[in-house]
């Protein structure tokens, strides 16, 4: 009779196989097209071949998003934890040849860089960037900007995305050096609870590259150049502005380099028909909130209709939906009449104000209507359209006076 030993029992192997099947089922997930502003911003920057840095708290899903992005774009993913590498791992390892005095000392690249070159394409993911010491950050400068590791140059098919935790939540974190920070498009990565719940249920948003319209490429470049150059011509102090605080220097700030990246992003977003929200994330993530918001305001004004076109055909005028843009258009129309006063133009302006009341918030016409009324000359008859605005303007003024009285009374009650 054979002797039974613990090593003869293979039941534990079958249980491991079952466990493996369960893990496989748990890891299976589908994707679906779903509006996701931050994911669209990420894919647009990747399409523009600009380095992206995702900022977010630990466990927020940055690594998972990059893994899914690489799979969706069919790019091999190479993950490099920056903080566990030496500077020589990015600048190259010196290798002595037979005659260093004659041939020099070549800088050999690491194996992951060689694999990327052999593949000709891929997604290089530099994780835990905020825990990399200053010496490693300095070595990463050429990797991020010039795509060079030692004597090796990464092919154009390789995209670079990094991830970092804020210093307060990073393990032994460092502030990013200003030169390295200025080479990235910074995106704040936050979780959407609906996306997380649906993803845990087995369906995550699908990452897709933006569809660029070939017919819009020349217009996209012209729009980007006009927007950036127009702002910098009017605000030369924004060409280069290094933040004073150390923490802010580790984020986006304006420089000729980051403005060039911004110009590229505007062109790509225009050609792709991306939303204003997506473009705002990218612009503010490249030159900072202040300059980025100024640039977005300039882009909004570029899209406004010409006041002269509106005065020429007020019946066919299409006014912006957004209140601030509609106010700017109406103010521009009144300013055009003031610069070249004419009875027909004055009447057309009133027709536009009536159209604004019929299609939007009535309070937006109060100031333009008051200014336009002051431009009337003695021999100009009052158009009937003014009667349709009189009630609106009077009601709005009464509401303003009532609000002022309430504010005064409330302030008096505090004393």
pLDDT tier at 102 (50, 70, 90 boundaries)? low
| Max Cα–Cα distance, the chain, nearest Å | 125
| Token digits of residue 103 | 């041939």
Determine the average pLDDT of the residues in 365-372.
Answer: 83
Residues 6+ apart with CB under 8 A from 120: 155, 157
Query: What gap in Å lies between CA 361 and CA 365, rounded to an integer?
Result: 8
**Mean pLDDT of the region 7-15:** 64
Residue 398 pLDDT more than 80?
A: no
pLDDT in tens, 214-270: 999 999 999 999 999 989 988 899 999 998 877 788 899 999 999 999 999 999 999
Closest of 150, 158, 185 to residue 51, by C-alpha: 185
Asked whether 130 and 167 are in contact (CB, 8 A), the reply is yes
Q: Which residue has the higher pLDDT, 166 or 400?
A: 166
pLDDT in tens, 317-327: 888 888 878 88
Contact 120, 76 (CB under 8 A): no
Dist CA 172 CA 175 (whole Å)? 10
Phi and psi angles of residue 55, each rounded to the nearest 5 degrees, phi first: -105, 130
- Sign of the C-alpha dihedral, residues 181, 183, 185, 190? negative
- What is the token pair recorded at 266? 């505007």
Q: Residue 347 phi/psi, 5° resolution?
A: -65, -40
The mean per-residue pLDDT over the stretch 384-389 comes to: 66
Domain boundaries, the chain: 33-94+106-205, 214-302, 307-414
Rounded Cα distance between 350 and 346, Å, is: 7
Q: What is the pLDDT of residue 63?
A: 83
pLDDT at res. 402: 44
Q: Does residue 311 register a pLDDT over 80?
A: yes
Q: How far is CA 74 from CA 66, 78, 80, 121, 157, in A?
A: 12, 13, 19, 10, 12
What dihedral do alpha carbons 321, 327, 328, 334 form, nearest 10°? 130
Please state, in angstroms and rounded to a whole number, the distance separating the CA atoms of residues 220 and 270: 5
92 and 150 in contact (C-beta within 8 Å)?
yes
Residues contacting 164, CB < 8 A, separation 6+: 53, 54, 55, 128, 129, 130, 170, 176
Tell whether domain 33-94+106-205 is in CATH 3.30.420.270: no
| DSSP codes, 62-106 | HHHHHHHHHHHTT--EEEEEGGGS-THHHH-EE---S-HHHH---
* All residues at 6 or more sequence positions from 296 whose CB lies less than 8 Å from its CB, including other chains: 276, 279, 280, 283, 284
């Amino acid at each position: 009779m054979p002797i039974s030993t613990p090593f003869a029992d293979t039941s534990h192997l079958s249980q491991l196989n079952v466990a493996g099947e369960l893990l496989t089922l748990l890891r299976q997930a589908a994707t679906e097209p779903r509006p996701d502003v931050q994911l669209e911003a990420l894919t647009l920057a990747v399409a523009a071949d600009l380095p992206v840095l995702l900022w977010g708290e630990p466990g927020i899903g940055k690594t998972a998003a990059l893994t899914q992005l690489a799979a969706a774009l069919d790019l091999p993913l190479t993950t490099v934890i920056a903080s566990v590498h030496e500077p020589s791992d990015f600048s190259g390892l010196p290798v002595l040849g037979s005659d260093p005095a004659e041939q020099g000392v070549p800088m050999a690249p690491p194996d992951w860089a060689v694999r990327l070159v052999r593949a000709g394409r891929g997604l290089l993911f530099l994780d835990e960037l905020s825990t990399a010491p200053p010496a490693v950050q300095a070595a990463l400068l050429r990797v991020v900007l010039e795509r060079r590791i030692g004597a090796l140059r990464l092919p154009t098919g390789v995209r670079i995305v990094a991830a970092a935790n804020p210093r307060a939540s990073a393990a032994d974190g460092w502030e990013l050096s200003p030169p390295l920070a200025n080479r990235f498009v910074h995106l704040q990565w936050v979780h959407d609870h609906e996306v997380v719940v649906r993803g845990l249920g087995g369906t995550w948003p699908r990452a897709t590259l933006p569809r660029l319209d070939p017919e819009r490429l020349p217009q996209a470049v012209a729009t980007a150049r006009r927007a950036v150059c127009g702002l910098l011509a009017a605000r030369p102090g924004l060409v280069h502005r290094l933040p004073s605080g150390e923490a802010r220097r580790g984020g986006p700030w304006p420089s000729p380099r980051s403005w060039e990246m911004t110009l590229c992003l505007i062109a790509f977003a225009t050609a792709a028909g991306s939303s204003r929200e997506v473009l705002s994330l990218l612009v503010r993530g490249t030159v900072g909130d202040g300059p980025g918001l100024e640039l977005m305001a300039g882009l909004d004004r570029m899209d406004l209709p010409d006041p002269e076109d509106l005065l020429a055909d007020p019946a066919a005028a299409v006014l912006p939906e957004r209140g601030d843009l509609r106010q700017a258009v109406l103010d521009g129309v009144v300013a055009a009449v003031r610069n070249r006063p004419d009875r027909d133009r004055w009447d057309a302006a009133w027709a536009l104000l009536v159209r604004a009341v019929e299609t939007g918030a009535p309070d937006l016409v109060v100031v333009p209507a008051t200014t336009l009324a002051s431009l009337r000359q003695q021999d100009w008859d009052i158009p009937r359209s003014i009667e349709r605005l009189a009630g609106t303007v009077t009601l709005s003024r009464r509401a303003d006076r009532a609000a002022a009285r309430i504010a005064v009374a409330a302030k008096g009650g505090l004393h």
